[in-house]
Amino acid sequence: MAPTALSPLPAPPGESPAGPDPVIPGPATDLPVRASDLGAHGFLPARPPVRTMAGTWVQLSDLAGAAATAPDRDSARALIARAGRDGELMALRQRVSRLSPRHADAASLRVAVIAAACGWSGLDPLAPVSRRTADAAFLDLWSAVAHRVDHQQFVGLPTLALLNWAPERKPRRSLPIDQLARTEALVPVVRWSPEGQPLGRLDRLMLATTRLEAHGCWLFRLAGTLAGRDPGDASTGTALRRLIRVQHALRAQLRNEAADLRAAPASARQGAVLTALAAQGALEPPVFQAADAVLGTGGRRAGDTGRHQLRRYLPVAHRAWLTALDRHCAPVRTLAHRGGPDAAVYREAQESLIALRRTYAGLVHCAAHPDAHPGGGGLHAVA
């Protein structure tokens, strides 16, 4: 099913659709971070991910593909152990410092796929105890790549989904990255399903999450609009109503994706990978975290993983942006304890976010537990 574009939201006369472009001071630096920097493409990369690596790095691509499509975890680990004994991983480790930032991100995707496929996604590559479980040469490569991208915990959905897509065909014209991800048919860079076979449910879920982020760019713009606004500002209620409309559109998008996901072939192996990632809180879409920064803890269900744990899978710059957004949206969050029409709209936005999370949880549950009843009590177990 071809993805559909999010319906544009009307802007007040004389105002851009995203509203004013506030400056949000970054918590880790004195330099300001403009909301439009993320409003342009959200947490998607500024350019499409690297689809094909060159030179020695082709070995890493091949290894990631082989590990992802291995019949079981032990087979995947055996492939990594063989590559370590043959010196392939050490050769890659010595070349990490030469990678450009964009190619370093591409390498991090392939390392993340290997770690998830081998059941090592919860390990710290620098911890001595990890060497009792994982291949030492692979841990050295993992830690070197983490240092190169300045992101220690990149084995999560932001890397596995947002760096693992490419347009199926080259577009006829240059498109903004979010429009490209929304309107073009996408394929994974590293497949979890063997070549020549239809994409499995894990592949479909990751592509659906990428399109969710692309459709969620309006949410980032509205979050920037609400940053620093007073609860009594006349524009606050308008922005919150638009936020509700965006969240409804995102929920409809997920429901559309569910049809493709249910039609995809199921795999117990892919389900095990998803369940392990979900147990670590590594499947939280970044766009939900932006909405949560605006709407506060009321936007999350009781018992959800804390913000810090969810954000650790994001790059440093994105975590800093969310932290600043938390701080600057504090006045708006006081609407949760007030009365009046704007407070009612705020609570409706919270309920809309909860419904959106539940829909996404159902999508994850369908991918991880294809044989379970869709309305079963385990719906939120992997959310």
pLDDT range class, residue 234, cuts 50, 70, 90: confident
pTM of the model: 0.85
Determine the pLDDT at residue 160. 96
Give me the half-sphere count of Cα atoms (radius 13 Å) on the Cβ side of residue 60.
32
Which of the four pLDDT bands, split at 50, 70 and 90, describes residue 170? confident
Q: 100 pLDDT band (50/70/90 cuts)?
A: very high
Rounded distance between C-alpha atoms, residue 57 and residue 77, angstroms: 19
The Cα-based distances of 362 to 124, 160, 241, 305 in angstroms read 29, 19, 25, 17
pLDDT at 135 over 60: yes
The mean pLDDT value for 227-248 works out to 91
Burial of 344 (0-12, 13-18, 19+ CB in 10 A): middle
Mean pLDDT computed over 127-146: 95
Query: pLDDT for 337-375, tens place per residue?
Result: 888 888 999 999 999 999 999 999 999 999 998 775 544
pLDDT attached to residue 11: 38
Return the exposure string of 81-93: e unless at least 16 CB atoms fall within 10 Å of the residue's CB, then b.
bebbeeebbeebb
Residue 16: the pLDDT is: 39
Note the Cα 243 to chain centre separation in Å: 20
Residue 244 above 70 pLDDT? Answer: yes
Give all domains of the chain, ordered by start, each with its CATH number.
23-45+199-380 (1.20.58), 57-160 (no CATH)
Burial of 6 (0-12, 13-18, 19+ CB in 10 A): buried
Cα torsion angle, 15, 246, 301, 287, sign: negative
Asked if pLDDT for residue 225 goes beyond 60, the answer is: yes
CA–CA gap between residue 175 and residue 184 (Å, rounded) = 10
* Of 95 and 12, the one with more pLDDT: 95
For residue 42, the model assigns a pLDDT of 80
- Give the tens place of pLDDT for each residue, 69-80: 999 999 999 999
